[in-house]
Chain A
Amino acid sequence: MESEETIDRRFDRQTLFRYAAAAGGAGVLAGRTGIADAMRAISTAETGRLQVMDWAGYGNDGGQSMFASYVKTHAANKPQFSYMTNESDALAKLHAGAKPDLFRPYVGWVKYFATSGLVQPWDPSLISNFKHLNPFMVKAGQYGGKQYGIPDDWGFDAILYRTDKVTPKSNSWGLIFDDRYKGKISWFDDLNMITIAGLYLGFKNPWNQTDAQLKQSQDLLIKKKKNVRLIWSSETNLWEAFGSGDIWIAYAWPNDWVQMKKKGLKVAYMRPKEKPVAWVGMFMLLKTSSRPKLAHAYVDAWSSTKSAKWLEDNYGYGHANTLARPASSDLLKALQLTNPRAVTEPNAHLDRDIPRRATYANLWEQVKAS
């Protein structure tokens, strides 16, 4: 759907590309060069390297292209990375004294961190690429009318399965609980499994289940755990196991389907009738940060169209920048990138705050221990 607005935006980009080519640099990435200059002027008041707490693969261990434009314009404040294995790990490190300037929890944690007193809202006017970001994801990063999270990477949770080995009874999350495929199923190591169980059992609000509902969900998981060969926590693990035929059915992200297809396997990425879940990474700014403007510049680099395309082409995750398109048509299809409403109802359930997260965590860990 090409609205006039979209055409205008693209035309502007073409102008910029010509500027950039003439200037002989990669200044396009910072958006309109004017704002980049202004930000640089403001940013020089902040010193030292930008402290970024991020997930593995997003730092200097492979993600350099995502913030290359920031490094170019802020060479004196190059990012320095510490790593978070997940939000719980980040939370613990923050309370134990770690002092990054920004970090990246996912959308289900936005409300938690927004009300925790640890973070401050962003100023979207300082982020030139903000307007290109998917509005539904942007809204999911807000709390109390303020923009606490800037969305960038995202994806779906759905089911990947081998079409030559598996015939689902119906397009449903129930496939990961299917007794017929005992020993060939893989779950994801996350308390979201409780949510999925609740979704499958038909509860109205799986993210905030009652005690009775939680017991049902946990019982289902414990009962069906015997069918599960492996509970994966890293994609490498999933790819090895799926690629070597150890598992045929997996809770998986869109890129996992693309990769297994590339490997020559006959696979399908199922959209369950109960709907897939969508996850979105949200940059958040620490209240104690002494480099907020630099942080905005960094996030702006991450949100650019060029970075977005790189992420989609290289890591297979979606990016909130609606202008970016990956080279792979398979990925385009799996992420439904032509549909800006892809992450929201009725197409999918956007991950959201879990008020009783500690209880969910406890129950999930008991499932694993049982």
Chain B
Amino acid sequence: MNNIALSRNGGRVLRGFFALVVVFLYAPILILVIFSFNDSDFPSFPLSGFTLKWYRQFIENGDLRASLWTSAIIAAATSIGAVILGVLSSIALARRFFRAKPVVSALLLSPLVIPYLVFGIALLLLFHQLGVARGIPTVVIGHIVITLPYTILVLVPRLEQIEEALEEAAYDLGANRLQTFRLITLPLILPAVVSALLIAFTTSFDEYAVASFLVGTQSTFPIYLYSALRFPSQLPQVIAVAVVVLLVSLTVVVAAELGRRFAESRVGV
């Protein structure tokens, strides 16, 4: 099979490059794994001996577990909210023509710009003004704002690549807009939707600055982590957690990916 996009040698070069980059990406993670078993209060070479005590400590650490759970809830709500708003926005941006489009798209993407610290404070003041108590819902609101641009940036290119002709054909055959969306557009953009969900979830799960101002008395995982980075005694446990979080999230992503491939095979595009 003659591949116009890539020669055999070209393929080899790129494959080698890819492998190199993967090594570069994973080396620091490997380091984390190594240090999660290292018997020392803070990570530096030379290594001090093997131990499982950090894993044990983290499992017994109720506050740490609570912060993980809080982060998970916030991230789930955020990703759903952001994708809903993102799909609505992307359809308008990719399919409709209106004069205000540059302005609207600037508005929808602008949360990418604001330093999260300032945004966190600004939102805090807003809620104070409105008399809304800080807690999980306020963090979700802030995180939806932050992750919405990412969902749009993933969904719009995908929508633009799908031929409108497919949707027009559906209208010609008598489908209304909602049916067209449900039966034609949505299945076609589903891979992008899944990507958007994942991006929103991971962004929210890992976000520190906004959450620290809006969460009130509870802790999210990054907040716990940041304070652990500042307070030496907590650090080794937290590295152990990071390794666990990595494994869990890898499992989740693999499962999501398998689900997506199944859906794609059904749609056939």
**Are A and B direct contacts in the complex by CB distance below 8 Å?**
yes
- For chain A, residues 298 to 339, give those with C-beta under 8 angstroms from any C-beta of chain B: 314-315
B51 on the interface (CB 8 Å rule)?
no
* Minimum distance in angstroms from A209 CB to a CB of chain B: 30
B45 near A244: Cβ-Cβ < 8 Å: yes
* Minimum distance in angstroms from B117 CB to a CB of chain A: 11
- Find chain B residues with CB under 8 A from A237 CB: 229-230
- For chain A, residues 231 to 268, give those with C-beta under 8 angstroms from any C-beta of chain B: 233-237, 239-240, 243-244
B229 near A236: Cβ-Cβ < 8 Å: yes
* Top 10 A-B residue pairs of the complex, sorted by shortest distance between their CB atoms: A234-B230, A56-B227, A57-B231, A97-B128, A244-B44, A236-B232, A56-B231, A60-B63, A243-B44, A82-B217
Identify which of A51, A62, A96 contacts B231 (C-beta below 8 A): A62
* Minimum distance in angstroms from B144 CB to a CB of chain A: 21
A92 on the interface (CB 8 Å rule)?
yes
A80 near B231: Cβ-Cβ < 8 Å: no
B262 on the interface (CB 8 Å rule)?
no
A233–B217 CA distance with the chains assembled, in angstroms: 23
- Find chain A residues with CB under 8 A from B227 CB: 56-57, 61, 83
Identify which of B121, B212, B217, B234 contacts A57 (C-beta below 8 A): B234
* Minimum distance in angstroms from A137 CB to a CB of chain B: 23
Residue of chain A at shortest CB distance from B44: A244
* Minimum distance in angstroms from B107 CB to a CB of chain A: 26
Pairs A–B under 8 Å by Cβ, sample size 13: A61-B63, A61-B219, A61-B224, A61-B228, A61-B234, A96-B121, A97-B128, A234-B229, A236-B230, A237-B230, A239-B232, A244-B44, A315-B233
B residues neighboring A (CB under 8 Å): 42-45, 63, 121, 124-125, 128, 212, 216-217, 219, 223-224, 227-235
A351–B231 CA distance with the chains assembled, in angstroms: 23
A187 on the interface (CB 8 Å rule)?
no
A243–B232 CA distance with the chains assembled, in angstroms: 13
**SS of A interface (majority):** mixed
A81 on the interface (CB 8 Å rule)?
yes
* Minimum distance in angstroms from B1 CB to a CB of chain A: 52
- Find chain B residues with CB under 8 A from A83 CB: 212, 223, 227
- Find chain B residues with CB under 8 A from A315 CB: 233
A233–B45 CA distance with the chains assembled, in angstroms: 22
- Find chain A residues with CB under 8 A from B217 CB: 51, 80-82
- Find chain A residues with CB under 8 A from B232 CB: 235-236, 239
* Minimum distance in angstroms from B191 CB to a CB of chain A: 40
A308–B170 CA distance with the chains assembled, in angstroms: 75
- Find chain B residues with CB under 8 A from A234 CB: 229-231
- For chain A, residues 89 to 106, give those with C-beta under 8 angstroms from any C-beta of chain B: 92, 96-97
A236 near B63: Cβ-Cβ < 8 Å: no
A60–B44 CA distance with the chains assembled, in angstroms: 27
Residue of chain A at shortest CB distance from B232: A236
B231 near A236: Cβ-Cβ < 8 Å: yes
A235–B224 CA distance with the chains assembled, in angstroms: 16
A96–B230 CA distance with the chains assembled, in angstroms: 25
Given the contacts A80-B217, A236-B231, A96 and B124 also touching, CB distance less than 8 Å: yes
- Find chain B residues with CB under 8 A from A81 CB: 217
A62 near B45: Cβ-Cβ < 8 Å: no
A82–B43 CA distance with the chains assembled, in angstroms: 28
**Which among A96, A236, A237, A243 has the highest number of chain B CB atoms within 10 Å?**
A236
- Find chain B residues with CB under 8 A from A240 CB: 42-44
- For chain A, residues 46 to 85, give those with C-beta under 8 angstroms from any C-beta of chain B: 51, 56-57, 60-62, 80-83
A115–B217 CA distance with the chains assembled, in angstroms: 27
A237–B217 CA distance with the chains assembled, in angstroms: 26
A235 near B128: Cβ-Cβ < 8 Å: no
Identify which of B121, B212, B231 contacts A235 (C-beta below 8 A): B231
A15–B232 CA distance with the chains assembled, in angstroms: 37
A219–B12 CA distance with the chains assembled, in angstroms: 57
* Minimum distance in angstroms from B98 CB to a CB of chain A: 39
**Binary flags per residue of A208-238, CB closer than 8 Å to B gives 1, else 0:** 0000000000000000000000000111110
A237–B233 CA distance with the chains assembled, in angstroms: 12
A239–B223 CA distance with the chains assembled, in angstroms: 21
A62 near B230: Cβ-Cβ < 8 Å: no
B234 near A235: Cβ-Cβ < 8 Å: no
Given the contacts A61-B224, A96-B128, A82 and B216 also touching, CB distance less than 8 Å: yes
Residue of chain B at shortest CB distance from A235: B232
- Find chain A residues with CB under 8 A from B128 CB: 96-97
A235 near B43: Cβ-Cβ < 8 Å: no
Identify which of B42, B125, B233 contacts A62 (C-beta below 8 A): B233
B231 near A243: Cβ-Cβ < 8 Å: no
- Find chain B residues with CB under 8 A from A92 CB: 121
A236 near B42: Cβ-Cβ < 8 Å: yes
Beyond the given A57-B233, A235-B231, please list 20 additional residue pairs across the A-B interface where CB-CB is below 8 A. Answer: A56-B231, A57-B230, A61-B219, A61-B228, A61-B231, A61-B234, A62-B234, A83-B212, A83-B227, A92-B121, A96-B121, A96-B124, A96-B128, A236-B42, A236-B229, A236-B231, A236-B235, A243-B42, A244-B44, A314-B233
A241–B80 CA distance with the chains assembled, in angstroms: 41
A368–B109 CA distance with the chains assembled, in angstroms: 31
**Which among B42, B43, B212 has the highest number of chain A CB atoms within 10 Å?**
B42
